[in-house]
Amino acid sequence: MFTRRVAVVGTGYVGLTTGACLASLGHQVVCADIDTAKVERLRRGVVDILEPGLSELVAEQVTAGRLSFVVGASSAVSGFADGGDGSGQAEVVFLCLPTPMGVGGVADLRAVEAVVEETRELLAPGTVVVNKSTVPVGTAARTAELLDRADVAVVSNPEFLREGSAVHDFLNPDRIVVGCDTAEAAERVAALYARLGAPTVLTDASSSELMKYAANCFLAMKLSYVNAMAELCERVGADIGDVTEAIGYDRRIGQAFLSPGPGWGGSCLPKDTHALLQVADAADFEFRLLRATIDTNTRQRQRIVDKVRQAVTGRRTGSLTRVRLGLLGLTFKAGTDDLRDSPALAIAALLRQAGADLVGYDPALVGDPSNPDKPARTEVDGVPLVADPLEAAQGAEAVVVLTEWPVFRTLDWTAMAGVMKQPIVVDTRNLLDSATLRRAGLTGIGLGRRDTGAA
């Protein structure tokens, strides 16, 4: 079997998934992080992030002897047992580092720069350095400049995995994209994934870097469009579920990514839309469509607050002061415990600002009794958390569903109704069955839905 010695620097969602999945494809992988405690936990098989199948895959690959963890990028680069060719050096080094939004929405590349600095002298001739993080166009060129090693190629190989289905997405990609100005290096990286049999686009580094933004911004645009369409449905008496189902059958549109919600969030879409806007501004290009995509999303949060206000007080201008609200779901989407740029938290902040008393419940934040590293959270961003949805509903003038956790569908809504002060549920994910709510004596208010009415 074709195998390579692969170093992965950074053990966040992307890095850990990349490391474990590449090991499962037969490669020899050493993953590095600067966080010593995290590396210790990973060595003990403790995976901090909630990601289906990831901890099992990590354990399996560690046991198989293909995956190990070290502290620091330099240890990963030279952390291999001699592969028989006299070298304990990595052949391919993946950079899976955070690229947070810096000043003015520009991606902050300090983590990438620090690792390049640390490993520059250690890389064996012929090593390929691969950037997997979403980075501005020109980063591969900039990395090559910083490395200043004519015998080391820098490749862009963006990752498309979604949180909550990272392992599945990595192993079942719609496509692999590898960008490099040296064809041989691009082919070497593409070969790592050969067993996946996915369509592969080999291109130059700039096109590869830009296409990742192009994909995420297109997805964001699709969602802003759907949220705007849901609002229009309310105004003209149409149903967004029927509209999206019908347009989704058009293969050019597709059914995926058409659910209205409280706005898109998470660690990628907000960061990437702002970063691409910066790229456009810097290139003196007025990207109106992208700006409108972001503005529509910002407005969506206020729209949800207005909906809650109307539902609870019966008036567009009613006061939410000391109105108790139970929030169901705080993570940015279901299937993850990630709170980064969560629309739920942004809406909670607006509701608090409007004077509401909030109590939150999220199934991913109640802790894991079998894992001492995962205690229950008691509050998040000033919102007190409870361990049971019924407790969140206690005395509430409305329950607001903010994350599409499937478990909310099957709650005992009659019991929920029994403890609430007013029988109102604002369902910002159109998750709940309206007939079930009605039977429980509750008024459900969704987004653009014919059968739940519009507030």
Binding site for ligand UGA (CB under 6 A): 134, 159-163, 216, 219, 223, 257-259, 261, 264-266, 268-269, 332-333, 343
CB 331 within 8 A of CB 263: no
In order of 307, 383, 451, the CA distances from 314 in angstroms are: 10, 25, 19
Question: Shortest Cβ distance from residue 361 to ligand UGA (Å)?
Answer: 18
Answer for the pair 192, 260: CB distance below 8 angstroms, yes or no: no
Q: What is the CA radius of gyration of the chain?
A: 24
Minimum CB distance to ligand UGA smaller for 79 or for 263? 263
User: Which lies closer to ligand UGA via its Cβ, residue 68 or residue 273?
Assistant: 273
CB contact at 8 A, 102 and 65: no
Q: How far is the CB of 145 from ligand UGA (least distance, A)?
A: 25
Return the bridge partners of 69, or none: 31
Cα–Cα distance for residue pair 228/258, rounded to 1 Å: 12
Nearer to ligand UGA, 118 or 169 (CB): 169
Q: Please report how close the Cβ of residue 362 comes to ligand UGA at its closest, in angstroms.
A: 14
- Residue 268 designated active-site: yes
User: Are the beta carbons of 38 and 48 closer than 8 angstroms?
Assistant: yes
* Smallest separation, CB 188 to ligand UGA (Å): 23
Residue number with CB closer to ligand UGA (257 or 287): 257
CA separation (Å) from 145 to 84, 115, 139, 154, 280?
32, 14, 10, 10, 23
CB of 264 to ligand UGA, least distance (A): 4
Integer CA distances (angstroms), 14 to 142, 158, 249, 383, in order: 22, 10, 32, 29
Q: Within a 10 A sphere around the Cβ of 236, how many other Cβ atoms?
A: 7
Cβ pair 29, 65 in contact under 8 A? no
* CA pair distance 440, 250, nearest whole angstrom: 37
Q: Which two tokens stand for residue 51?
A: 């990601």
Task: Give CA–CA dist 342/361, Å, rounded.
Answer: 14
For residues 332 and 413, which CB has a smaller minimum distance to ligand UGA in the complex? 332
Nearer to ligand UGA, 49 or 59 (CB): 49
Minimum CB–partner distance for residue 91 and ligand UGA (Å): 25
Short-list 439, 410, 443, CA closest to 427? 443
The catalytic residue among 31, 217, 233, 268 is 268
> Known catalytic residues?
268
